[in-house]
Structure 1
Amino acid sequence: MGWLKTAAKYLLLLMLAGLGALVIAVLIAMASLPGFDELKSSPNGQMVRVRAADGSVIVSLGPSYGDWLTGDQIPESMKTAIVAVEDRRFYMHPGIDPVGIARTIWVAKRLHDEGRRLQGASTITQQLARNLFLTNAYSAGRKLREVVLALAMERKFSKAQILELYLNRVYFGGGAYGVDAASRKFFGHPGSKMSMGEAAIVAGLVKAPSNYSPTADRDAAVGRAKVVLEVMQDAGAITASEAESADPEKVRLAPETDQNAVRYFTDWALAQLDDLVDERTQPIDVWTTIDPAMQVAADKAIRADTPEGAQGALIALDRDGAVRAMVGGRDYVSSIYNRATAAQRQPGSAFKLFVYLTAMEAGMKPDTPVVDEPVTIDGWSPRNSNREYAGPIDIRTAFAFSINTVAAKLGSEVGFSAIADMAHRFGVGTEINTHPSMVLGTSDVRLIDMTRAFAAVARKGVAVTPYGIVKVTTAKGDMLYEHKSDDNRVLVAPWVAAEVTDLLQTAVNTGTARAAQIGRPVAGKTGTTSSNKDGWFLGFSSGITTGVWMGRDDAKPIPGLQGGRAPARAFADFMRVAVAKRPVEQFETQVTLPEWQLEPDEEAYFGEPDEGMTQSPDSVMDQALDAAGVPDDQPAPAAPQPSAAPPPQARQPRTELDGQFLDGIVGRGGERPAQRQGSRPNQ
């Protein structure tokens, strides 16, 4: 029996040594603990609130903190509920709960057999210590430190202070930390005004915030709240009648704001924060350019007008480059890829903007005569979509009806390198090839770059740099960053921009972009790539410039997709809302559209309008052209066949597609260059 006494003696000594070590550890922890006021002011990470142009909060990222509620401001029902469900003996234990520990040991074996770890023994004080000073990594060492800190906190702070810290710092799900943030998120009012039923819902979230979130699963949240009320009644904190009258099913939840489409914008804008501000800890407000009404209209337009199976993107810029709306796809939840800022696609005839900008800068005018005729440049023979040639026309007519042969001839005359330089000058950041086919939009570009280019034309040649952040402030209002606009960089002379605007508004009023009409002056251009893989429309009116792209992410053809159809309709649907409250602005060159021209009339085009390149984008490099200059994957046009002219009563002579015809449509007067009479050759 002597060895038992010796073993007991050593065990007692070990226990006393352990207790002494624990006391010393607690005393050291007490000395190192921050004060109560310091703990109140230190957040668990940075909260970023993103505000729209009207000041409303559109997205909250990171932890969300409401107002700090003192113990007197926190409803008694909230304190009672959290103590009952999380730590019934909170007011009796010294920081750790021996009874709770003993209870959990009984079920430890069963949990271990089920592959689950032991939980449920942590007191409110232990949870607070873990939230403030430790991580959630489960280990014996972390659990021991948690115990030491809990004991130290109980020695340093009162129970009321610990409960106040806990209820203002614990995570309740949905990014909300503290009862005030949780109450505002889930119920739409301050935490100091919570009812018994609301308190039960919030208290029930601590165990599993994601499982019981009212916004994610209302039934689960209500069911959990009923359990909380039962626990409160069992603990003697409330009576049966009080539990019944609380009725969580009658609690009204605050409506969730739809953050789907706007997340494309916030992802793009917030990625720039690291370059704008150095603040990384305290909460900040990011004031943005986004217009909520325009954003909703943009999302609706893309969802409504994008063809089935395709994706759509839209971006709208104000005069100075402020992004008023941005949609990067049909559904952010299913695809976060931002096609408005990241996707690189061929623009088709929308790229002709740079061809004609270069031509105007070189001295040409909208009424400069040109000839629409077959042309071959370095072995490349572009054709028009209607397989016909108009003969002598002017530049305005060639642009309005997106005539490919004229664009090719202009490119050859002004230089393909000069056109590429013009595109880069206007903000296109992707590589532009200088093959002759480049005039038809064979180089990949981004929608945001093309939109800023059109916006610079609308701004009379002054550069436009898209931006989304107006200013960044602290939660207290201290300025950390403020955007400064640069109005001094002139890209082209104002008269060049005015002449190109002349061309762009003619395209909308009489040419390929008639679907973009909105009842006020609009200037714009369509674009469609080969096999209908991409559809574009870019244009401006009343100070807003909008770009629309549609297509498949895998670049497969979409039957019927043309820039003058779905993209132009989406542009019009959006712009009617975007400019509704803005005054009508006339362009320097006005075009009056006759009443009859407002009705769709394909015959006015003499066949389908060209809305993009009809030459395959890679035809020069990778495709063998037949004698007619048509890619192998497209049928060659039938050769013209001689035929006897029908009698006058059988076929009326066709009106010539020239400047006089165009002037007649739009009511534009003035002297015109001499035009060839007669009909165009058929092909």
Structure 2
Amino acid sequence: MARRDVPRRSQDGESSAQHRRESSMLGRWVRRILVWGAGLALLLALVITGAVLVTARSLPDYDRLKSSQAGQMVVVRANDGSEIVTLGPSYGKWIPYSRIPQPMKDALVSVEDRRFREHWGVDPVGIVRSVMVRAQSGRWRQGGSTITQQLARNIFLNNSRTFDRKIREAILALALESKFSKNQILELYLNKVYFGGGAYGVDSAARKFFGHPGDQLSLGEAAIIAGLVKAPSHYSPTADAQAAVDRAKVVLDTMVDAGTLTPAEAADVNLKAVKLAAEQGQNSARYFTDWVLPQLDVLLPDNDQPIEIWTTLDPSSQRAATDAIASQVPKGAQGAMVSMDRDGAVLAMVGGTDYVTSNYNRATNAMRQPGSAWKLFVYLAALERGYRPEDRVVDEPVTINGWSPRNSGGSYAGQIDVRTAFAYSKNTVAAQLGNEVGFGAVANMARRFGITTPINTLPSMVLGTSDVRVIDMVRAFASVEAKGKLVTPYGIRKITTTDGEVLYSHRPDPQQQLVPDYVAAEITDLLQTAVNIGTGRAAQIGRPVAGKTGTTSSNKDGWFLGFSSGVTTGVWMGRDDARPVPGLQGGTAPARAFASAMRVMTAKRPVEQFDTQLKLPDWQLEPDDEALLNNPDDYYYTDENGNVVDGQQGDGLGGYGPGSNGQGPGGRGPQGRTPDDAIPVDQDGLGTGPVGPRNGQSRNAPSAASDDLLDRATGRSRPPRQQPQDRRAQDWQGY
């Protein structure tokens, strides 16, 4: 009997048919996926191509990309061109591709993008390798960004790690590759990549870390710089020299692996022998730059391009000033020094003993009492009123409106000349002179010579009870050195672009005569005597020096200010909390610091003798004298407190500074008037009324106004005012 297996054939046939149908369907889906994938890929390629083309067309040209920078760079240079400090991003000089050392190019390409010459801006091989390392290690250990992508990020994007940023970075990289050559891209990268410490570009990094231009890099230096790109702060040679050396070894090994360096050449590199440049910017010169840089807001208010500031600072003078303060300042105290050339150029500025510990600039910001250094203005006022260095005065106890000054040591010399009284800083003589010429006249003289801080007109002001700044006092002494002409301190000679274009150049102010030249000669005579035989003997330097000491009560402040061979220097020492400093006197540590610095500052200058013999033989109003006196019609009158009398209008240049309570110059008039009398002054508050007595004899000067006018202006019939008591300077040393 035959077997019936038809059903079995039918079942197998159906299975086969089903299999064929499933295979056909899978094939159709595969084909669909391939077609759609190809279509999408084509569409994506078209989109990317379009985006790249559009981006490439919108990219700046090469010159604009070269000039684009992230923030303003400011390089501050000394008067010899040496760099003091670089602030903000530093880009150095642009180095063309042909001048970039080949080891630098090879090192960077080897360690950052070995396939740089083969890809189109985005490296698929690098991306795959990065993903594989990520899968093996569990974290991103190797970046897939090319040099072109890094350049795109540095110029156009930020450092955020978003997918959107990576897409834009890739498109920009492709656009850059389509528009510029490989050499141009590498040139841009090497001149713009950040190497740490504010240094952008090879030249800036080479100057910062090795002290020379970027086109002079050795193989070892190139390896160190190339190693910085991965982590600039971690591998910085100034922060961790060993880490920088270790990273440079990795760079050299990578160069060997890439075939740009032989093993023998790599072995010959002694990385530890690479000499690093000294770290710049945190020394005492920063006090000077802190004073100079805010002036840019006035000199170049709208500038945002990289600039170089060429200053007046003299490196040797700055070192001498720094060493002098550090070696002479008493323990626990602070010190400040300013040195100025005869045209006002600031040669040195020290604002404290250590900038890193305290960046407070005591040379320009601190206000301290000057002690007997203030007598410069007392004697200037007396000399202008007719006194002479050889005139006789009496050193004896004196009381002025209840205030009784005393000399250091409590002794009195009796009858002496003005020169001796100044040389030995006799307080009683200064008080008598100030009382005679008028305390307001002394204040006006200080104003005239550049004191900008408030000035009181109480009797004790002649001993320096008004706070002053070091730089203002140096300016005043410099104006004396300039034969009575106004000297304005400045610190910037010129400002240029990094390409040398001059944006600003200092122009000297028109000369203004503050006192007649014979008055300047006479005060110089007194200042020179104070150094030769008086309280300033410690300031002698083997050539003519003129100067004055200053010491305040309880030895809280010590000063010495003086000049020689065209250089004027002022020194202050004391505590920031104004507590006494045992043994501190102007004639000790400050005078020694002055001498120490000035020996260096004047060493290469010719010896100059002071002209102290200028005389005005007979009183006469020559054209220059008339210019000093101004227009008599501009006079107005004040009482002894500086108040304008009888409603006369003045400009408020009085005892407490411009516009303070509307007070005018104030002060006492010539000898023989009552305390309520007034003195005539011009509208600038220069106290140019009748000249005071000299040794009991008045000069035959023209009267500024008639007696009737003076009577009406001063209100002689009114009862005299009571002068306020002033005992604040009872204990002043008077040095």
Q: Same fold (TM over 0.5)?
A: yes
2:540 counterpart (517, 529, 537)? 517
| Residue 478, structure 1, aligned to residue 478, structure 2 | no
Distance 1:118 1:243, change over 3 A: closer
1:74 counterpart (78, 100, 111)? 100
CA distance in 1, matches of 2:224, 2:468: 51
Contact persistence 2:563–2:569 (CA under 8 A)? yes
Amino acid paired to 1:577: V
Amino acid paired to 2:65: L
Three-state SS of the structure 1 residue aligned to 2:410 is coil
| Length, aligned pairs only | 589
2:365 counterpart (329, 339, 342)? 342
Three-state SS of the structure 2 residue aligned to 1:407 is helix
Other-structure match for 1:617 = none
CA drift at 1:32: 0.7
Contact persistence 2:133–2:142 (CA under 8 A)? no
Per-residue Cα deviation, 1:588-622 (whole angstroms, up to 9, x for no partner): 338xxxxxxxxxxxxxxxxxxxxxxxxxxxxxxxx
Contact persistence 2:86–2:281 (CA under 8 A)? no
Q: How does 1:24-423 map to 2 (within 5 A)?
A: 24-102=50-128, 104=130, 120-137=143-160, 139-255=162-278, 260-277=283-300, 280-423=303-446
Per-residue Cα deviation, 1:212-238 (whole angstroms, up to 9, x for no partner): 223343222111101112223344443
Other-structure match for 1:488 = 511
Three-state SS of the structure 1 residue aligned to 2:206 is helix
CA distance in 2, matches of 1:139, 1:331: 45
Contact persistence 1:426–1:491 (CA under 8 A)? yes
Contact persistence 1:463–1:487 (CA under 8 A)? no
CA distance in 2, matches of 1:589, 1:434: 30
Contact persistence 1:375–1:381 (CA under 8 A)? yes
Per-residue Cα deviation, 1:164-220 (whole angstroms, up to 9, x for no partner): 211122122344332233334434444344333222111001122233223343222
Three-state SS of the structure 1 residue aligned to 2:342 is coil
CA drift at 1:18: 6.3
Gaps of 5+ in 1: 591-671, 674-683
Contact persistence 1:58–1:259 (CA under 8 A)? no
| Range with bigger deviation, 427-436 or 94-103 | 94-103
Distance 1:109 1:399, change over 3 A: farther
Distance 1:437 1:138, change over 3 A: farther
CA distance in 2, matches of 1:233, 1:579: 57
CA distance in 1, matches of 2:36, 2:453: 76
Per-residue Cα deviation, 1:453-480 (whole angstroms, up to 9, x for no partner): 0111111110000011122233443332
CA distance in 2, matches of 1:415, 1:142: 75
CA drift at 1:448: 0.4
CA distance in 2, matches of 1:247, 1:278: 48
Per-residue Cα deviation, 1:7-30 (whole angstroms, up to 9, x for no partner): 989996988776665444333211
Amino acid paired to 1:289: T
Other-structure match for 1:582 = 605
CA drift at 1:566: 0.4
Contact persistence 2:342–2:567 (CA under 8 A)? yes
Gaps of 5+ in 2: 1-21, 614-694, 697-735
Three-state SS of the structure 2 residue aligned to 1:495 is helix
CA distance in 2, matches of 1:188, 1:486: 37
CA drift at 1:105: 5.2
Amino acid paired to 1:48: V
Three-state SS of the structure 2 residue aligned to 1:204 is helix
Identity of counterpart residues, as a percentage? 66
Other-structure match for 2:524 = 501
Q: How does 1:416-565 map to 2 (within 5 A)?
A: 416-565=439-588
CA distance in 1, matches of 2:239, 2:178: 40
CA distance in 2, matches of 1:587, 1:312: 29
Per-residue Cα deviation, 1:318-365 (whole angstroms, up to 9, x for no partner): 111111111112222222222111111111111111111112122222
CA distance in 2, matches of 1:440, 1:303: 28
CA drift at 1:562: 1.0
| Range with bigger deviation, 102-111 or 533-542 | 102-111
CA drift at 1:259: 6.1
Distance 1:26 1:523, change over 3 A: same
Q: How does 1:585-600 map to 2 (within 5 A)?
A: 585-589=608-612
CA distance in 1, matches of 2:216, 2:392: 76
Distance 1:9 1:234, change over 3 A: closer
Amino acid paired to 2:340: L
CA distance in 1, matches of 2:219, 2:374: 63
TM-score, structure 1 length as denominator?
Answer: 0.79
| Range with bigger deviation, 488-497 or 446-455 | 488-497
Distance 1:110 1:263, change over 3 A: farther
Select the structure of larger CA radius of gyration: 2
Three-state SS of the structure 1 residue aligned to 2:465 is coil
Contact persistence 1:507–1:524 (CA under 8 A)? yes
CA distance in 2, matches of 1:354, 1:332: 33
Other-structure match for 1:632 = none
CA distance in 2, matches of 1:519, 1:73: 53
CA distance in 2, matches of 1:11, 1:313: 80
| Range with bigger deviation, 303-312 or 9-18 | 9-18
